[in-house]
Amino acid sequence: MAVMMVAACGSTTTTAGTSPSRVYKIGLVTDTGGLNDKSFNHLAAVGLARASTTGNICSTLSCSGNMGVQGDVVESKTGDEYIPNLTNFATKGYDLVIGNGFLMQPAIGTVAKTFPNVHFAIVDGACSDANFADLGLPNCQDLFFKEQESGALVGAIAALLEVANKAPKNTHVIGAVGGVSIPPVNHYIAGYKWAAQMFDPSIKVLVGYSNDFNDTAKCKGVANSQIGQKAEFIFQVAGGCGLGALQAAGQAKVYSFGVDADQKDSDASVIASALKKVDVAVFNAIKAVVAGNFQGGATRFSLANDATGYQLDNNLADGSALPADIKAKVDQLAADIKSGAKTPPDTIS
């Protein structure tokens, strides 16, 4: 499926229906989770749509004359579609081709090396060889996140509710449901476990993987297994598959945490979401191309530039919001991480 978004950018207005004099073409290739994952791929498309909306790029740049951003999205159903989808945009001379996902690294590395005059960017990775070694291509921008920061903040919420005897049964057991065991997923879980054990040394953290980012039934099964072991907080880190984990939590009357985007509408059990502002990274990459200052290499997104964090969502089971004293402690942890006073790990202990 392809979605096209075209908009004019700039203050110069001509007759109605006149096309922009300069259209920047941006192509986005999603990972296999698809645009309906309500998290990772969805956010990338949001960033592209924002750049394609009248005035958003030019509001931060000195645009001259009529300018425009055309955004096209192609969903990858399997990993075998990565190279054809990326190549499709590159052969058409797009100004920027964006790959979304760690597993796409070798594919975008292959295509970026073949088209050295086309700009590329990839979320959660680099343009790499078949062994995932960074090729260091000057036409490729690597967009990395410190997911462990966001994971730590929801892990703190779970532990602090346990300590305050405000968890469903105060079992001091929590769970995390990952998709595939890859660095971005494990960063989240590492921070989650670290903060939970910091605030509640007695807590038990169960970690499981569905080995899938799409099938909600697989994540639901992993979550139900953890709930059967008395987990009463479920943190989903599995894209569209993870929506099944949230559903499992809701059906079992325990709490859950969303991932990447604000997922409060996915299930009433979601009391907070660990944020990863993929939309900001995508928008910034597009803005760099339009501004003419694109640079290859790694760009980091974290609490320091407001690209990670957390969002409070649905109320607790008794209808109350997260207690103010607990929120204050979570916010202090965020401040300490931002200042460097505390550093969550990016590997699971």
Q: How are the residues of the chain apportioned to helix, strand and coil, as percentages rounded to the nearest 5? A: 40, 25, 40
Contact, 94 vs 111, CB < 8 A? no
The domain covering 148-276+315-339 belongs, at the CATH homologous superfamily level, to Response regulator (3.40.50.2300)
Class of domain 2-145+278-305: alpha beta
Sheet containing strand 2-9, strands side by side: 2-9, 67-74, 22-29, 96-100, 119-123, 140-145, 297-301
Name, in order, each residue with C-beta under 8 angstroms of 144's C-beta and a sequence gap of 6 or more.
124, 125, 298, 299, 300, 301
- Domains in the chain: boundaries: 2-145+278-305, 148-276+315-339
Q: Do domains 2-145+278-305 and 148-276+315-339 have the same CATH topology?
A: yes
Distance (Å, whole) CA 178 – CA 263 = 16
Contact, 301 vs 277, CB < 8 A? yes
Question: Going residue by residue through the chain (349 aa), what tens digit of pLDDT does each one get?
Answer: 344 443 333 332 233 444 556 889 999 999 998 898 999 999 999 999 999 875 566 666 665 556 688 999 999 999 999 999 999 999 999 999 999 999 999 999 999 999 999 999 999 999 999 999 999 999 999 999 999 999 999 999 999 999 999 999 999 999 999 999 999 999 999 999 999 999 999 999 999 999 999 999 999 999 999 999 999 999 999 999 999 999 999 999 999 999 999 999 999 999 999 999 999 999 999 999 998 999 999 999 999 999 999 999 999 999 999 999 999 999 999 999 999 999 999 999 9
Q: What phi and psi, each to the nearest 5 degrees, are found at residue 310?
A: -145, 160
CA distances from 333 to 236, 264, 337 (A): 21, 22, 6
Distance (Å, whole) CA 308 – CA 306 = 6
